[in-house]
Structure 1
């Protein structure tokens, strides 16, 4: 608990802020050709925490 009672803590966060696409797994197979797994799209959020 803070000196004046409960304390609110806020956190802002993001993943892939500029929304860039890139393959982080790439596989070349003679039967299926080239396959890739791409990163996730832009994600942003807010975390709130009340400490008392």
Structure 2
């Protein structure tokens, strides 16, 4: 399993358009730790090689 810090993500609201005071004009973006993305890509590439 992965360490808890690698699985924790943060939600950041990103402004879309129009009125900045309305919460409907923002979209959520999940910020993930880079190390978890790197590990995910390594595992993915190894699985692809293994399944061929």
TM-score, with length taken from structure 1: 0.33
Q: Flag the structure with higher strand content.
A: 1
Q: Flag the structure with higher helix content.
A: 2
Give the structure with higher Rg (CA): 1
TM-score, with length taken from structure 2: 0.33
Q: Which has the higher contact order (CA 8 A, sep 6+)?
A: 1
